[in-house]
Amino acid sequence: MIVVAVVGPTATGKSDLALDLAQALGAVPAPGNFATPGRPDVPVGPTGTVNAEIVNADAYQLYHGMDVGTAKVPPAERRGIVHHQLDVLDPLQDASVARYQEAARADLDAIAGRGARAVVVGGSGLYVRALLDAMDFPGTDPEIRARLEARAEAEGRRALHAELAGLDPQAATSIGPHNTRRIVRALEVIEITGRPYTANLPRQEYVRPAVQIGLDCSREVLDARVAGRVDRMWEAGLVDEVRVLASPEQGGTGTGLGVTAARAVGYAEVLAWWRGESTEAEAREAVTANTRRLARKQMGWFGRDPRVHWLDAASPHLLDDALAIVAAADAGTLPIAGAEPVRRSLGS
């Protein structure tokens, strides 16, 4: 069964559409009908078949306790639809794309094994691609890396770059002769895998049948949505949420936020305010500005993928349009990759 992915910039309503799609595609029964063998949390239909399940692809919604600031759908509002890859990390842990890929792909396998439809939703482009696309994560070897770094110091980075050019000309051209760290990493990967470094780079090639639905809207509409979201987050207790997660010095009960979690928009600005780098009003304004900046970055990422089928997030027929895309994908009549990337931008 084709995996449906709802992607695009923050504040465009991806979570709502994913819920609507999961409910419409799976005809999810009323909450409380839980009878899947071995999975009492998975809703089933009248015939005992599983319907539709959602897989999160937002890097920060992986974190337990980071709810308000990530716009995580509260359990009571999930309509009885099972969600995966939410609350799977402690805020002190650093997120890993490779670890997410392994766990989320296992979820897709399990969902398919139950005969269910998987609906992926999120705005973290790298996580979406790691889940859906051919993307390898070669390991590291401290001994190999140390040896290469020592050679770079002794022989010079240009010598290593020349070696890389002989082994993988495309990688050498892409990296250039001045980036010692990336040259060393490329040579390390080649030695570990026995393949060119570029063979391990992500490719726009689905590892399982999938269709991506992107949500877009005008800059004015998105800016208004972002401002409204920040207002609601402040009213819903974002500051208190950060305090609970933060170190005891801030009056919280948590042990702190790790490097990755502390960088999240909404959390980073509140922490900066507490460090005396801004006022509360300035922190709130910074959250709004940085969320808008994030949205533009996300649109740049997804806009370069020609496989994304874009819809107007403000359309009154959004669900019907999305269902039509899924139906065409299921029928094999939906045109996909092969053309030049459709470079969309907010307001296009």
> Which parts are annotated binding residues for substrate?
10-15
CA distances from 250 to 270, 287, 324 (A): 11, 20, 50
Query: Residue-wise over 151-188: b if at least 16 C-beta within 10 A, else e?
Result: bbeeeebeebbebbeeebeebbeebebeebebbbbbbb
> Rg (Cα) of the chain, in Å, rounded?
22
Long-range contacts of 330-333 (CB under 8 A, 24+ apart): 330/2
- Asked whether the beta carbons of 15 and 130 are under 8 A apart, the reply is no
Q: Whole-angstrom Cα distance, residue 58 to residue 128?
A: 8
Residues placed in the known binding site: 8-15
324 strand-pairing partners: none
Binding residues for ATP: 8-15
Residues in the chain, overall count: 348
